[in-house]
Amino acid sequence: MIPLNTTPGLPPTRKKLVVVGNGMAGARLVEDILAADPDHPFDITVFGDEPYGNYNRILLSNVLNGTQDPKEIFLNPLAWYADNHVTLHAGKRATRVDRDAKVVYADGVEEPYDVLVFATGSRPFVPPIPGTTHRGVFVFRTIDDCRNIAAYAKGKKSAVVIGGGLLGLEAAKGLMTHDVAVTVVEMGPWLMGVQLDEAGGKVLQQTIEKLGITVKTSASTREFAADDHGAVRAVVFADGSEVEADIVVISAGIRPNKELAAECGLACDRAVLVDDTLQTGDPSVFGVGECVQHRGVVYGLVAPIWEQTKALAARLTSTNPDAVYTGSKLATKLKVMGVELASMGRVSDVKPTDEVVTFAEPGRQVYWKAIVRDGKVVAGCLLGDLGPADEVVSYFMTERPAPARRLELFFGSGTRTQGADFSLADMPDDKQVCDCNGVCKGTIVKAIQAGKTTVQSVGKATRAGTGCGSCKKLVEGLIEAVNGEVKADPSEGWYVPAVPLDKPSLVAEVKTRGLKSVSAVLRELGTGEDEKSKNGLASMLKGLWGTEYVDERDARFINDRVHANIQNDGTFSVIPRMYGGVTSADDLIKIGEVAKKYAVRMVKVTGGQRIDLLGIKKDDLPGVWRDLGMPSGYAYTKALRTVKTCVGSEFCRYGTNDSTALGIALEKTYQGFEFPAKVKLGVSGCPRNCAESTVKDVGVVATEGGEWEVLVGGAAGAHVRKTDVLCRVKTREEAIRVIGRFLIYYRDNAKWVERTYDFVPRIGIEELRGIIVNDSLGIVADLDAEVEKTAAAYVDPWLERDNPAYAGQFEDVRTVPLPMA
Amino acid sequence: MSATLARVPLCTLDDLPVGLGRPFRVGDTPIAVFRTRAGKVFAVDATCPHRGGPLADGMLAGDQVVCPYHAFRFHADTGACDQPGVCSIATYPVEVIDGAVTVTL
């Protein structure tokens, strides 16, 4: 249909293909064209509104809740466009199309075309409610929206999401992680009105209310009220009631971006009209994605849009000139706020003659429903337990007759349900494994047979597992089934990325060659240079060579260069040591005076029982340290941080032993010890464990009878792990000694940035106890010697205040005047 | 912005620590000047376009500056960022003659 010069022997004529829109449809179309025919006859130009490459919009809520960095959700970085000879006008909005001259205009760019594709997507619908322009009112659609919401949410107390559809609930989930009370407001009588019926909506509501979200349905919003400074403060409803809202996120549906097409005279209804060839009214102009209406339907999910791009790519490249798109049957599996959900067809649309098959288990928030019309499944939703979802979806998609005993839809013809012994080998090849990217088992198996034996390489080859990632376990299982084993990525075992050696081999090589500086190691053994490798090598070499280590300051992160923690405004945080969290009136007065003298913006008590002075300028650091006259608390680096203690037997009526004295002694002994990751200690004076010793890297708990229990490998941060018991000892001195051995063994054997909570289970507590307590390797004497050597090498880094280690170490911006003209 | 370029004496080579950077403000323009371990001296914008990180406090990875905030990287020669969606930063020609460092901007 696109006339191309394909005469054999003649080079094909280059055609100009312009795609307006760089979202999930536009970019996918380009990918599909490249995949369909690497020698395709087009010079491709893409216009994108946002100044980025394209990203996976499905994962935006992860960006909002902080589980994924914006960097991780990009599908095609800007470089991908260049590598594939695709011209991308990022951040340029197409403003006009002249179909007679066949030219697209955008912000000073004129791009002529032979073939034009509209992939302009859609935009959030902002209902005409007064107050949508107040500060703190957001829509939720782009990466910038996420960033803006996250930044604004800091310190706020309450958030209201307008719209209880899929996207609204995703936004609510993201907001929960920002420590605000979240209310979801839905105009309809139940949540997710498109995918669920009333009973299902109520089940979902109960489940998410248990997570602490307030849900308000059948609620009509009258206005967003602002405070005196123009910032939103409440949502006001039609009945006059109010809900407090420091943030409002509007997620009230989307509207197709059809204006550009309409303005150049193309037929539009709710969206740009296209036929089964995805052509608009103009034979040179096509449309895909959320901006088009096909057979009366506008799609807003990714799967049908990808069917469209595939058909259009096949047509444009003539790899299948007859390819058509005849519409999609919508079946989706989702996870909303931890609730698993499958939905197909229109569940609310029940005719009097339909058979409705339901199963409910209210105790577990399980709800299954299928609508059977003329003997076939035409709609359904499953919530809470997706056991039979694949079966029901398969009846729906294939339109095959539903089983005569309708209960077999959910429970199979016998005991045949997908349980723990479900076999991957029995899975049919056309069974979809990756629901985000529509990848079937057969495709994945082919890739594995072609030699892709890591989850990452299968992902690269097939895209499976590169969306939400929830099918990675299945991919891993398939690799095991086909290949026998999953190959580990070899670089996973390396100590740092730039040197292809694991830690023991690296240590051996460094010792043999006598490499005492980071630059020497990189020069002799490295394959590149990056900041993580430099940091990791610096830490390792310092532990290895002690005083012989050649300390190159450019191998250190800024915090380790100026011995303070950099903050988001370029200033630093200063935390002096406060041994065991015990201080004195004189020290407190001194800290207070310093805070006044340097106009410290915030004085904060830390979680590790000490005092943080925040907002110190770089050139004030030496003065602050001098005036404090206290040693560095090492709060900025991978080293021994704090030893948290309870008051213990000195004051506490329950205390059985002197926990503060042991804590202070531990901190004085091991201050300045550097490790592959930070190390926090805790000492509790009785099993009530007020110093939270069971979630520390090393914890000590006093027991009735005067003994100390030594615990290792705990954590209570992003990762929570209870410690394992290493041993019990009778005296304070024994406790200090055994902890020193553990610390050195950890320092010398852990991978870079491996916390003890990973290290201890990796080695195994039995094995560790053998090595450290029972001396099974005969290295305890060496460990003790290493403790002494390291302790002897300790110098307070804050003494560099009088003797900077390099030019400009503690200097801020130097101002240089422009010469007189 | 003035159309004429100015060559501005900045500092001595010894003022620049090996493998690290230093921040300057030349007239109204904040810049970060680096001296690589291989001996190259270069100047770029002082601030990361992502979240305003002070690039002079960053580490070097070869000929790239790594922002200390979120590890976005910028190339010494082109100012281009390694991450999609982050615009590049300006670079400024630097000369070192007899241990004197000048920048043109």
Q: How many CB atoms lie within 10 A of CB A648?
A: 25
Asked if the model's pLDDT at residue A418 lies above 60, the reply is no
B57/A813 CB distance under 8 A? no
Residue A342 is encoded by which pair of tokens?
């499958």
For tokens 């322009």, name the residue: A133
Tally Cβ neighbours within 10 Å of residue A437.
22
Closest-CA residue of B relative to A498 is B61
User: Given CB atoms, is A74 within the 8 Å cutoff of chain B?
Assistant: yes
The predicted pLDDT at position A420 comes to 37
| pLDDT at A597 exceeding the cut of 50 | yes
List, for residues A331-346, the tens digit of each pLDDT value.
887 777 777 888 888 8
Q: Which of A53, A557, A811 sits opposite B85 (nearest CB)?
A: A53
Q: Is A416 a residue whose pLDDT tops 70? A: no
Q: Does A528 touch chain B (CB under 8 A)?
A: yes
The pLDDT of residue A471? 80
| Interface contact flag, A530 B61, Cβ < 8 Å | yes
Long-range contacts at A233-242 (CB < 8 A, ≥ 24 apart): A235/A160, A235/A162, A235/A183, A235/A185
Segment 46-75 of chain B within 8 Å of chain A by CB: 46, 51-54, 57-62, 66, 68-71
pLDDT of residue A363: 81
Identify the top-confidence range among A65-74, A248-257, A344-353, A427-436.
A248-257
> Is B100 part of the contact surface with chain A (CB cutoff 8 Å)?
no
CA distance A79 to chain B (A): 8
Flag whether pLDDT at A461 surpasses 90: no
Instruction: Answer whether A341's CB lies under 8 Å from A352's CB.
Output: no
- Cβ neighbours of B19 in A, within 8 Å: 552-555
Tell me the domains of chain B and their CATH numbers. 7-104 (2.102.10.10)
Report in angstroms the alpha-carbon separations of A269 from A95, A272, A474.
20, 6, 42
The answer to whether the Cβ–Cβ distance between B25 and A143 falls below 8 Å is: no
3-state SS assignment for residue A62: helix
DSSP string, A568-614: TTS-EEE-B--GGG---HHHHHHHHHHHHHTT-SEEEE-TTSSEEEE
The interface pTM score, or ipTM, of the predicted complex is 0.95
pLDDT at position A488, please?
A: 65
Select from B59, B60, B84 the Cβ nearest to the Cβ of A78: B84
Q: Record the pTM.
A: 0.53
Mean residue pLDDT across chain A: 89
Q: Is the pLDDT of residue A774 over 50?
A: yes
**Nearest-Cα residue of chain A relative to residue B4:** A821
Q: Three-class SS of residue A210?
A: helix
For A664, the token pair is 């202070």
Residue A101 has pLDDT above 90, yes or no: yes
Test the A interface: residue of B16, B34, B37 with most A CBs within 10 Å: B37
Whether the CB of A267 is below 8 Å from some CB of chain B: the reply is: no
Chain B nearest C-alpha distance from A807 (Å):
6
Nearest CA in chain A to B32: A813
Cβ–Cβ of B87/A74 closer than 8 Å? no
What does the pLDDT read at residue A468? Answer: 62
pLDDT tens digit string along A293-350?
999 889 887 888 989 999 999 999 999 989 999 988 888 877 777 778 888 888 877 8
Tell me the residues of chain B between 15 and 34 that have a Cβ less than 8 Å away from chain A.
15-20, 22-27, 30
CB contact under 8 A, A51 and B30: no
| Interface membership of B42 toward A (CB under 8 Å) | no
Distance from the A817 Cα atom to the nearest Cα atom in chain B, whole angstroms:
5
Provide φ and ψ at A144, rounded to 5°.
Answer: -70, -35
Closest CB to A807 among B17, B58, B68: B17
Smallest CA–CA distance from A73 into chain B, residue: B84
Q: What contacts A333, CB < 8 A, 6 or more positions away?
A: A340, A341, A342, A386, A389, A393, A435
How sure is the predictor about A421, in pLDDT bands with cuts at 50, 70 and 90? very low
- DSSP 3-state of A811: coil
Q: Using an 8 Å CB-CB cutoff, list chain A residues near B59.
A: 531, 534, 554, 556-558
In this prediction, residue A554 has a pLDDT band, given cuts at 50, 70 and 90, of: very high
Reply yes or no on whether the pLDDT at B44 is more than 70: yes
Please answer yes or no on whether A554 and B59 come within 8 Å at the CB atom: yes
Tens-digit pLDDT profile for residues A598-617: 999 999 999 999 999 999 99
Contacts of A398 (CB under 8 A, 6+ apart): none
User: In angstroms, rounded to a whole number, what is the distance separating the alpha carbons of residues A53 and A576?
Assistant: 45
Contact B85 A530 (CB under 8 A): no
Among A71, A76, A818, beta carbon nearest to B27? A818
Task: Answer whether B85 sits within 8 Å of A143, measured CB to CB.
Answer: yes
Cα angle at A22 between A18 and A28, to 5 degrees?
90
Nearest CA in chain B to A805: B17
| Residues A336/A166, Cβ–Cβ less than 8 Å | yes
Q: What is the DSSP string of A17-36?
A: EEEE--STTHHHHHHHHHHH
Q: Which tops the pLDDT comparison, A56 or A688?
A: A688
Shortest CA gap B103–chain A (Å): 11
The pLDDT tens digits of the residues spanning A69-89 come to: 777 777 777 888 888 999 999
